[in-house]
């Protein structure tokens, strides 16, 4: 063991990689970075390489993993300084860890985590080892809370779900745009598709994707498939209108809104009172039923319906994050 090093002072200022004290763009729900442990033990493991004793691994122990004041339930950034120079900022803490961000489970106790990517160096040249550890506080949302995009949270998943235009992202929340999203002019109504595609399935040479997905997390993909078919006009397409919504909150632009899938629209109806501002009439989902009809929801009584793509029903954009 080489010693225990505190956080703060010059070390913290020169090794932190997360814009200490300022908002950081790691996705909605994150705030600022702060020190989360003032005493972490640093250990080394050595190997005899090329006739020299080399430091091959630096391990950490006695990390405060408690919640909420320690490093528990937070994203942890570790910065390693050897002989006064920043040599590594990537520690193997969890199998899913990447870059400098690692998730702790929030349980009490200590952890022992080893650096697995350190380039071995001559132990005779080692004069000092220091470490800084910072966490980024994570903001949790509940249904009814104002979301990062200025709308209302209407769904919180117990486990992350696949989301995004290619379903390669992972999301936990669904947020509905505020009732004033249409430039304050009230909830707009649109046809599901423009005249050219009201009797055409969303799956052809123009649009190789489909828009038949019903489940949570599929709305963005459905929306993009509808637009790709040729339904690009915001005056004639519910999907294009939802997709066009963009809002800037605290300097961050949110432009990932979409027409909800059938299941997402069901959830939106269930939380209609907390979200607010709905017209007592039909709303479109992004889920196609067949060639010339798509699924909608009656916000008067919760009834499901499948109706002509040419009919005008109301639009409320949502986003997943």
Residue 96 scores a pLDDT above 80: no
Residue 28 scores a pLDDT above 50: no
Secondary structure letter of residue 21 according to DSSP: T
For residues 182 and 247, the answer to whether their CB atoms sit within 8 Å is: no
173 pLDDT band (50/70/90 cuts)? very high
Structure tokens at 46: 């050595």
For residues 224 and 256, the answer to whether their CB atoms sit within 8 Å is: no
Where does the chain have alpha helices with state H? 9-15, 219-229, 238-244, 262-270, 272-275
133 pLDDT band (50/70/90 cuts)? low
For residues 298 and 272, the answer to whether their CB atoms sit within 8 Å is: no
Residue 257 scores a pLDDT above 70: yes
Q: Rounded mean pLDDT of 24-44? A: 52
> Rounded to whole angstroms, how far apart are CA atoms 13 and 77?
13
Region at 164 (left for phi over 0; alpha for psi -120 to 50; beta for the rest):
left
Question: Mind listing the pLDDT tens digit for each residue in 284-305?
Answer: 999 999 999 999 999 999 999 9
Q: Rounded mean pLDDT of 142-157? A: 94
Domain boundaries, the chain: 3-138, 152-320
Q: What is the mean pLDDT of the chain?
A: 76
Question: Mind listing the pLDDT tens digit for each residue in 216-250?
Answer: 999 999 999 999 999 999 999 999 999 999 999 98
């Amino acid at each position: 063991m080489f010693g225990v090093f505190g956080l703060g002072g010059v070390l913290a200022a020169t090794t932190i990689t997360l814009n200490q004290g300022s908002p950081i763009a790691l996705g909605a729900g994150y705030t600022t970075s702060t020190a989360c442990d003032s005493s972490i033990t640093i250990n080394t493991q050595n190997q005899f390489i090329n006739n020299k004793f080399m430091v091959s691994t630096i391990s950490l122990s006695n990390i405060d993993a408690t919640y909420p004041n320690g490093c528990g339930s937070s994203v942890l950034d570790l910065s390693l300084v050897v002989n006064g120079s920043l040599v590594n900022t990537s520690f193997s803490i969890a199998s899913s860890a990447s870059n400098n961000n690692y998730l702790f489970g929030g349980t009490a106790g200590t952890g022992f985590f080893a650096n697995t990517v350190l380039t071995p160096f001559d132990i005779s040249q080692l004069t000092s080892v220091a470490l800084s550890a910072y966490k980024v506080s994570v903001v949790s949302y509940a249904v009814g809370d104002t979301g990062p995009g200025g709308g209302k949270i209407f769904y919180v998943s117990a486990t992350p779900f696949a989301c995004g235009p290619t379903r390669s992202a992972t999301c936990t929340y669904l947020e509905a745009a505020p009732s004033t999203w249409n430039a304050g002019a009230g909830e707009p109504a649109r046809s599901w598709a423009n005249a050219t595609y009201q009797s055409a399935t969303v799956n052809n040479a123009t649009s190789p994707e489909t828009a038949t997905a019903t489940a949570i997390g599929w709305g963005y993909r459905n929306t993009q498939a509808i637009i790709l078919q040729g339904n690009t006009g915001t005056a004639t397409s519910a999907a294009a209108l939802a997709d066009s919504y963009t809002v800037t909150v605290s300097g961050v632009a949110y432009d990932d809104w979409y027409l909800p899938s059938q299941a997402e629209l069901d959830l939106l109806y269930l939380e209609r009172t907390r979200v607010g501002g709905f017209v007592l009439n039909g709303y479109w989902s992004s889920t196609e039923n067949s060639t010339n009809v798509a699924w909608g929801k009656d916000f008067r009584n919760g009834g499901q319906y499948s109706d002509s793509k040419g009919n005008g029903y109301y639009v409320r954009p949502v986003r997943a994050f």
